Amino acid sequence: MTKAYLTMTLLGAVLATMATHGHSQTSGGPALAAAASDPKLDWGACPPIFPGDCKIAVLHGDPSQPNADVFLKVGAGYRLPLHRHTSAERMVLVAGQLRVKYEGAKAAMLKPGTYAYGPAGLPHDGACVSRTPCTLFIAFEGPVDAQPVAK
């Protein structure tokens, strides 16, 4: 698969989630307060690069444009495969314990309230190591995408 195909697959999945679940926040819209535990929050399936027990909720913005914010939720024991983004990402773990490993750096253990920064293009993987699901807030600087990285 080509990078362009995978990027469009991810954007299509996120946009389909937004359309299905009524997400229409724009970068200029009103302030939105959302808790990951809010039963009114709409969760959709993650794109194919993240199969299985993975859900995403678009909180603000258009994922095909810069500056979209999302919650990413994965089940206990879930492993995020090695991947990269064309955008830098700013993250705060909301729930669970998530081990994140960026190429060339030591693995970091994120606990609720922990901030992490992921540079654009740098391969990384992760795992929800808690007995409860992990929820991660991610603010993307550019459009939301993810490409698999061969080991």
User: What is the phi-psi region of residue 14: left when phi exceeds 0, alpha when psi lies from -120 to 50, beta otherwise?
Assistant: alpha
Which amino acid, one-letter code, is at 115? Y
Alpha helix positions (H), the chain: 3-21
pLDDT in tens, 8-32: 333 333 333 333 333 434 345 555 6
pLDDT at 41: 84
Structure tokens at 47: 């794109």
Domain boundaries, the chain: 3-148
Taking residues 26-49, what's their average pLDDT? 75
| Most trustworthy range by pLDDT among 1-5, 36-40, 63-67, 95-99 | 95-99
**SS3 breakdown of the chain: % helix, strand, coil, rounded to 5?**
15, 35, 50
pLDDT in tens, 93-151: 999 999 999 999 999 999 999 999 999 999 999 999 999 999 999 999 999 999 999 97
Higher pLDDT, 28 or 57: 57
**What pLDDT band is residue 42 in, cutting at 50, 70 and 90?**
confident
Top-level class of domain 3-148? mainly beta
Q: How far is CA 90 from CA 85, 136, 149, in A?
A: 12, 10, 20
Closest CA to 149 of 103, 89, 88: 103
What is the distance between the alpha carbons of residues 45 and 55, in angstroms, rounded to a whole number?
5
